[in-house]
Chain A
């Protein structure tokens, strides 16, 4: 059966970024699969109220006080009345929150549980355990996830991290990777297949897959925000050495950030301006046009939950050199990547290896695009997310959804299917910590009282039901393929 799903996050368009496009792509693919999806986010500058995006994706921009980097002020309860109104208007069954730093998402999950809805949470980032900020964030995440029905992580490393941070049952956490729109990231030689792109993106005739000779110039592309976490220091240290040891090599660096000055200083000191091209920040639509100018993509990041950009680079037919951190080792097969330790020497070595591999034509980069297209697609992500929805709603039996080990004693733990009884919820929150547990319980009780109050003063009967966007009838084929997609 089709569900009514509300995606809740602080981060959505018009701001651009990984989480934003994840929500948008997932929502539109879910709509394609016959569900009804709305997005609830806070009001951005010049964007308040209700909007529709392509395919009838409805966006609620709720006016809210923004404190830092488009994150709303965590007020715990003040979001409840309007949230309840939206949820009733749209007849929502499932609330799906995104991003652990979004207070909107955390509050929405709490309120949704109070209202008796199923909730899903998607974690997009990794957090450590050491510093004070992480400890606070982890406590808040534990509050959010104590009562969530299911969590989704973008990589297995991210799953381990989330399980530890929020003390979750590992079987309640699914790993569903990000994806790329492969059509938007095709190499130059592919433009012939898409006639509409030939006009816009490549004025010069597409170069058919040509072998790179031993003396041909090799261009290394780096597209990242220039922050410490993205490994810009490593990049700065290794560029001169890579250029010195590999003649006929060029760099194209796109992105801006606080480390840009260091990068420019390095270029000036070593007089490398003619070998390194700095583009500044580029919009996401232009990323492909930058990538196809190169042969190697260098990604020296220090932490990364998934690393969509390396998939995009591989999809553009670039050979990827990246650091072995976070979830990156899981993302691409070995014939597309060279891994390096996050050390200057190792990055230089790995890049040199990659250059010589390309020069000797040992890498078939012209096949990368089609291979990546097979590996990652948003349709697949939507299918897998749909299975999570079915599992928590109960359309798939819990033994099948969680256990899958008949006769192993798994069906015994009943807490995986989260009951809505207040006392059970309080029990879950109480275990969050000596002081935090009591505080969380207090919050939950107050939230429940607010809910009762709202039900009395603004009864459901007085809230109009919004008309849905006229949708295409769900294709029966896809439903069948979903149920048959399985565990062969």
Chain B
């Protein structure tokens, strides 16, 4: 009936509906969930989180999600909904004519502006991927921000102390370095524990297939050869190379955490080099990374890989140390011709930029451990400390402040991230310490004396707790305004097994 008679020489193509949702059985009736206000997420959605989100994101559930939109679209879409209601009455009439199909290639006996009440906007999904927040996890997650803000505050207070000659810069940098050293030792322990576990598990998996460990170098050298291989097949050899995914993966896994510190140090060194003169020859920096990478062949080297790794780190540390030492006189006079007011304003903006562009991610996603504080954030912080340092009177001051800023902005975030993954108690303790120290530091800076420090700590802690709770609650209450509209018009997200670099 629907195909035109002119198609006679060919068997008329049967208009099978190719529309995804009209496939038989795809429209299962859903148990209607009664919500207080169906158009919006209510705050109590947070409590019904798992069940609700599952209902909403179920793919067979398009009809259920078909509600009028809020805001600007409300008027017309509610009219569309009304339209639908009105048109349902004419269903009998339509059946006689043959059902309308959401197809373009078949000539239909409906006008072009016909709007089918059943299928119109049936793919519309509202807030399909919304994960309602819970209060306490949200507060727990906000500790990351608190930590960073506190460390920035501490840095600023230290600078003020140095400028006002209340604190000796050397003592600050000594304490900072001691802290860094302790942090590094802890970090080193964690990494190598992890390493050992990974090696064990890798050996366990490698026992199954032959030749994987011997070809580890080759697999590291040309990973693309493996790209066509599905992840989970371990026994399939490819193109005669005899490589396996498991060997390659475990190697990557081992290599990634150990390059962390080096990369970050390089990043810091690079940032310094950017702010001023040609300092560290880039080749040495590359050497250090190469050293980190070349520890892929542990069994052949003379030093144990752990010590090699340490040597590299120490080398990098010394490199930065001496580069800074050499740079300090230049940095001291860098902005002599600039007024102090501009410096305060500039450093203020740079630190704000640092706080806002800082990578607060937990680092638990894909390829997580290699992700680092975004370079914009680190660069902003280093530049802020550079311009601040140029206000200081002597080379020692400048050197101390710069070193301290590297420790605070370059290395401390890595340590915090690792600590958060390793031990939650440690993370909470560190947060508390930072809040108290920052509050105290602000108190001392503002009025001086121990009393002020204690008052500052107490006030700071209370204020921080209030802000954390308040912001979390605010974010949860703002959730009801969330209105994400998703439909077939959105570009699909391609699912690709392995990424090509």
Contacts and interface: CB of A to CB of B under 8 A. Distances in A.
Interface of A: 126-130, 142, 150, 152, 155-158, 160-161, 163-164, 167-177, 229, 231, 233-234, 236-237, 240-241, 244, 262, 265-266, 269-270, 302-303, 305-306, 323-327, 329-335, 337, 339, 341-345, 367, 370-371, 374-376, 384, 387-388, 401-402, 404-405, 408-410, 431-433, 487-488
B489 A333 contact: no
Closest 6 CB pairs of A and B: A174-B112, A126-B489, A343-B495, A342-B492, A303-B491, A161-B489
Contacts of A384: 112
Nearest to A134: B490
A332 B13 CA distance: 11
A167 B492 contact: no
Given A302-B494, A330-B103, 10 more contacts: A152-B112, A157-B489, A158-B489, A160-B123, A170-B120, A234-B496, A241-B228, A269-B224, A342-B493, A387-B112
Given A160-B124, A233-B496, A404 B111 contact: yes
A198 B9 CA distance: 25
A233 B494 contact: yes
B4 interface: yes
Given A160-B124, A337-B18, A371-B7, A433 B79 contact: no
B90 A374 contact: no
Nearest to A126: B489
A106 to B, nearest CB: 18
Given A129-B485, A160-B124, A303-B492, A269 B227 contact: yes
B500 A331 contact: no
B475 interface: no
Contacts of A229: 491
Contacts of A177: 104-105
B100 to A, nearest CB: 10
Contacts of B110: 487
A270 B485 CA distance: 41
Contact of B72 (A126, A167, A175, A334): A167
A444 B349 CA distance: 41
A297 B60 CA distance: 30
Nearest to B3: A374
Interface in B89-143: 89-90, 102-106, 109-115, 119-121, 123-124
A337 B110 CA distance: 25
A334 B80 CA distance: 30
B87 interface: yes
A344 B496 contact: yes
B101 to A, nearest CB: 9
Contact of B113 (A161, A171, A325): A171
A164 B73 contact: yes
Given A156-B104, A172-B113, A344 B493 contact: no
A409 B85 CA distance: 12
B9 A303 contact: no
A302 B15 CA distance: 25
A488 B86 contact: no
Interface string B1-24: 000101101100111101110000
B18 A329 contact: yes
B422 interface: no
Given A333-B105, A433-B72, A236 B494 contact: no
20 contacts: A126-B489, A152-B112, A156-B104, A161-B489, A167-B75, A170-B120, A171-B83, A175-B113, A177-B104, A231-B494, A237-B497, A262-B500, A303-B492, A324-B20, A327-B488, A330-B18, A330-B103, A333-B105, A370-B9, A408-B87
Contacts, number: 190
Interface in B474-494: 484-485, 487-494
B105 A176 contact: no
A45 B487 CA distance: 39
A344 B488 contact: no
Given A164-B121, A172-B113, A266 B18 contact: no
A395 B484 CA distance: 41
A370 B16 CA distance: 19
Given A155-B104, A164-B121, A487-B110, A334 B489 contact: no
Contacts of B492: 302-303, 323, 325, 342
B77 interface: yes
A269 B495 contact: no
A160 B7 CA distance: 30
A303 B494 CA distance: 11
Contacts of B121: 160, 163-164
Contacts of B77: 164, 167
Contacts of B111: 174, 387, 401, 404, 487
A87 B6 CA distance: 41
Q: Which of A169, A387, A401 gathers most chain B CB within 10 Å?
A: A169
Interface in B450-494: 484-485, 487-494
B225 interface: yes
Contacts of B488: 157, 160, 325-327
B336 interface: no
A265 B113 CA distance: 47
A408 B89 contact: yes
A161 B104 contact: no
B286 interface: no
B69 interface: yes
Given A326-B488, A333-B13, A408-B90, A169 B495 contact: no
Nearest to B224: A269
Contacts of B489: 126-128, 157-158, 160-161, 303, 305, 326
B498 interface: yes
Contacts of A155: 104
Contacts of B224: 269-270
A342 B494 CA distance: 5
A196 B493 CA distance: 45
Residue of A323, A384, A401, A404 contacting most chain B CB atoms (<10 Å):
A404
A376 B113 contact: no
Contacts of A433: 72
Contacts of A262: 500
B54 interface: no
Contacts of A265: 500
Interface string B54-92: 000000000000000100110111011001001101100
Given A171-B113, A371-B7, A163 B80 contact: yes
A374 B490 contact: no
B485 A175 contact: no
Given A157-B488, A270-B228, A237 B498 contact: yes
Contacts of B487: 157, 160-161, 164
Nearest to A485: B107
A65 B128 CA distance: 42
Nearest to A177: B104
Contacts of B112: 152, 174-176, 384, 387-388
Nearest to A157: B488
Nearest to B116: A156
B494 A343 contact: yes
A18 to B, nearest CB: 15
A336 B77 CA distance: 36
Nearest to A161: B489
B495 A344 contact: yes
Given A367-B10, A374-B7, A432-B72, A344 B104 contact: no
A329 B491 contact: no
B136 to A, nearest CB: 29
A219 B89 CA distance: 52
A381 B429 CA distance: 71
B474 to A, nearest CB: 22
A235 to B, nearest CB: 10
A244 B69 CA distance: 48
Contacts of B119: 156
A155 B487 CA distance: 14
Which of A158, A240, A332 has the largest number of chain B CB atoms within 10 A?
A332
Nearest to B101: A330
Which has the most chain A C-beta neighbours within 10 Å: B6, B14, B494?
A: B494
